[in-house]
Amino acid sequence: MNNPWEEISLDDYENHMSLDSVKQLQAMNKIMEEQFDAYPASTAMVLGVAGGNGLEHIRRNKYQTVYGVDINGDYLRTVSERYADLSDVLKCLKIDLIYETDKLPEAQLLIANLLIEYIGYDVFQRVIRKVNPEYVSCVIQINTDDKQWVSDSPYLHAFDRLDEVHHQMDGNLLSTKLMEIGYKEILQKRTALPNGKALLRMDFIKGQQTKEE
């Protein structure tokens, strides 16, 4: 059976995420601007790039290559069209992170926003080992309502199958899992959402290295 993310239309996803009652698209855009600017990296990888929200913050004078990775080929085609002006920097890769980790190139900064929930901690560890970044910046969703982790909206049923692949996230456990593979937590920042949920950004640096200013 195919991955549920291959069946969700980008319109449904983006319309849901940008609703006033959800506002995750807007919050994620601001977070990604900060992520792209935060560290001295010239190569980056965005896992679960979807429609490319936030890619407009890629600065040409900073980045030589940014990889946009997703399992959904339709999403990637849209990203290529939306950001045609970044075609010399942005490289879109259709990769199933669970089964095709070996296809991932290396990058100095790894961004994984609302993505770990759908691959799990162990696969994320495997991905990091392959990409071998100096910095990892990720966002997980903190849920106040355990019964419904997808916010209510007219597009809710587009996400019915996500229960098949969703993992509940815990910031402390994520930090422990990255420590196991040599990454130290250096930042934690929480963004409140309108519906009582929150986004938790957690950044990590590869061990035995001091943060460059």
**Domain-embedded: residue 212:** no
Question: Quick one: pLDDT at residue 143?
Answer: 76
Domain that holds residue 168: 4-206
The number of distinct structural domains making up the chain is 1
Strand 109-113 and strand 43-47: the pairing is parallel
Per-residue model confidence as pLDDT tens digits over 125-172? 999 999 999 999 999 988 765 545 455 444 454 565 566 667 788 999
Asked, for residue 47, whether it belongs to a domain, the answer is yes
Let me know if residue 184 belongs to a domain. yes
On whether residue 8 sits in a domain, the answer given is: yes
The whole-number pLDDT of residue 1 equals 58
Q: Quick one: pLDDT at residue 156?
A: 53
Give the rounded distance of the alpha carbon of 6 from its chain centre: 16
Say if 113 falls within a structural domain.
yes
- Residue 213 domain-assigned (yes or no): no
Residue 95 belongs to domain with CATH number: 3.40.50.150
Tokens found for residue 10: 């980008």
| In-domain check, residue 211 | no
Query: Out of 106-110, 164-168, 190-194, which region has the weakest mean confidence (pLDDT)?
Result: 164-168
Average pLDDT of the segment spanning 189-203: 90
